[in-house]
Structure formats: structure tokens, C-alpha cells
Amino acid sequence: MLIGENGETIGTISGGCLESDVLERAKKVLRAGAAEVFTYDTSQAEDSVFSLNMGCRGVVRILLETARDNAIFEFLQTGAKQRKACAVATLIAKSESFALPIGAKFLVRAETDLSDEANPIIRNVLSDTLEALANNRKFSKIYEVDSETAEFFIESISPPLNLLLFGAGYDAIPLAAFAGDLGWRVTLVDHRAAWANAERFPRADQISVSRAENLDENLFRDEASVAVLMTHNYEADREILYRLLNSSCRYIGALGPKKRTENLIAELREAGKIFDESKLSQLYAPVGLNIGAETPEEIALAVVAEIRSVLSNREAGFLRSRDGGIH
């Protein structure tokens, strides 16, 4: 959550029960200029923790830090523009002997070199951060060497998810809007300029007016992409599906009956088209979760929910049926 000096906020850290108290603490951090970690612990009693009366039975640790240093924002912005994941390790607890201040960060890309780092704790932190980057993980870890102790929160940060949306029909409009609301990047592709335009799709970040056989190969190389096929044209879907089955997309959704997609795949095989057979495990057809969707808006909701569940490696069931935590 970003907090302005005037109390204006962007984002949230809870369902609303912590924010007012955090805003008061933020004023002190802004005045002092030093980062602070504090804990809300409701695990021992249900009532009146920090006078918040949360009753949530959990523990939350919050790091508050000033945002006057633009290095982290520039770092993340570069990763987003280059469409490459990066990772950040942030110091959240330490012994007095550890020299770095709370909130100190290491900004890591895949090419980061560890060979010149002499401090064993920092070297191990950087190594773990590279591992988190390679495996898209986030975790906290305590490091101890001699008399020094430090705990870092390490997180891999991917560029905004890119939705390749093939088809600019009426049913694609709410899907593009939902994706935009989620902070996803939307790339719209259709051969009809009268349909594929910013007036109809104001949330699209990129619009490509092209026939299926003339599509730019660079569209299919972004590893932080998912795709939804909804051109309503059988021949176009067959050509695009062939390219998607040889792409870096992490999810491929195809609108229409299951038999239709099976026929598309059979025809590709009969034509001798070579594609990665393992990619079929990432193909979801019919697209969307089974929520009884009928309208374009409901179908869009089912599609974005399915994409989120697949990328999170979650079975999209009811949370009330889940054992353990929800995060």
C-alpha cells in the first residue's frame, strides 16, 4: 500500500481493519525517515488487539518505509518494460551487530554476479534471491553467521501478466476490461480495424490489426503471457492455436465446445503441423470455470478466475472447503 503525506492511499494491506492504525504509524515513519517493522498478533485473544477488535486469529508483520528513494521503482519499471522478472530481498529484522538498516534492499536480476560479495550473509541472501527468481517464489528466511543475524523477505516479481486476446467481438470487451482492472496488460488481436480499436477497447495496451497467418512471432515469445482464443472463426482459430501450442504462454483458453477444439487439434496433426504435445496440458477448452456463466460479462468473470487459479496452481473450489490458510 502506497501512503501519501496527506493520507491518500493506493492499494490495501487488509480488508480494512488495519489501515487506520497503519496510517497513524506511517506519519511517524515519514517524520523520522527510518523504516519500521511492527506486528499485529491476534493469535492469542479474539478481542481488542491494538484496540482494533479484529478477531481474526492471525499474525501480520508490516514493514513501513519511506518511498523517497526511487531506485526500487525504477528497478521494477525496467523489469516491466523489458518483460523480465526480477527479485527483491528486503531486510526485516536483524541483530545489532548487522550493519545494514531495516528496510535495506538488494535488487536482483538473472544476470546478477555474486562473485565479488565478501559478506557471507549477503552472499547467501543474493544466492537465495536468485533461486527465488528462477522458481518464482517468495519467502522469509533468517541468516546467522557468527554473532550476526538477519532476516530477509525475498520475493520474485514478474512483469504484469500479458493477456493475448484473439478476437474483438462484443464478448471480448468485458474480458479486456476485467483484465485491465486486475492490472494485467492486454494485447488485442483481430483483423478487423473497425472492431479492433481503442474506442471499443479502451483498456487494451496494444492493438494489433492482423490476419492470423500474418501475426508477428514476437507476440508468442513473452513468458509472462496467457492467451484466450475467441475469434469465432474456425480457420483463424486453427492457425492461432498452432502458434500458441508452440509459444511461451502459460495458459491457453479456447472459447467454444470441447469437440470444436479437439477437431482443431486433430486437423493440425493431420496436416503434419508439429507442436509441443506437452503444451496441451496448458490448453483449457471450453475456457472458463464452471460457474454457470451465460452473459459476456459472466463468461469474462469465469475466464479471468480460471486464469488466476491456473497460475496460482490452485483448484478453484470453495474456500470454506479448504483446510488450512487461504494464502
Structural domain of residue 150, as residue ranges?
Answer: 82-157
* 92 shares its domain with 219: no
Span 103-113, average pLDDT: 92
pLDDT above 70 coverage of the chain, percent: 95
The Cα 97–Cα 205 span in angstroms is 48
Domain's final residue, options 128, 157, 186? 157
Per-residue confidence at 115, pLDDT binned at 50, 70, 90? confident
Per-residue confidence at 284, pLDDT binned at 50, 70, 90? very high
Q: What is the pLDDT of residues 147-161, one digit of tens each?
A: 899 999 999 999 999
* 153 shares its domain with 166: no
* 186 shares its domain with 269: yes
Reference 95, options 138, 160, 151; nearest CA is: 151
* 199 shares its domain with 307: yes
Residue 68 above 70 pLDDT? yes
Per-residue confidence at 52, pLDDT binned at 50, 70, 90? low
Q: For residue 270, what is the domain's CATH number?
A: 3.40.50.720
Per-residue confidence at 55, pLDDT binned at 50, 70, 90? low
Q: Is residue 25 part of a domain?
A: no
**Range scoring the smallest mean pLDDT among 22-31, 55-64, 200-209, 240-249:** 55-64
* 262 shares its domain with 130: no
Rg (CA), the chain: 24
* 131 shares its domain with 187: no
Supply 63's cell numbers.
514493514
What's phi and psi for 309, nearest 5 deg? -70, -40
- Count of domains in the chain? 2
* 152 shares its domain with 195: no
CA-to-CA dists, residue 73 to 77, 171, 180, angstroms: 6, 36, 21
* 133 shares its domain with 229: no
Span 182-208, average pLDDT: 96
* 88 shares its domain with 137: yes
Q: Is residue 177 part of a domain?
A: yes
Residue 136 above 80 pLDDT? yes
Residue 45 above 90 pLDDT? no
User: What contacts 24+ positions apart, CB below 8 Å, involve 183-191?
Assistant: 184/160, 185/159, 185/160, 185/161, 186/162, 187/162, 187/163, 187/219, 189/164, 189/165, 189/215, 189/219, 190/166, 190/231, 191/236
Mean pLDDT of the residues in the chain: 91
Q: Is residue 6 part of a domain?
A: no
Q: Is residue 13 part of a domain?
A: no
Residue 308 is predicted with a pLDDT of 96
Residue 49 is predicted with a pLDDT of 45
Residue 296 is predicted with a pLDDT of 96
Residue 69 above 80 pLDDT? no
Q: Is residue 226 part of a domain?
A: yes
Supply 226's cell numbers.
496467457
Predicted TM-score of the model (pTM): 0.82
Per-residue confidence at 48, pLDDT binned at 50, 70, 90? very low
Q: Is residue 279 part of a domain?
A: yes
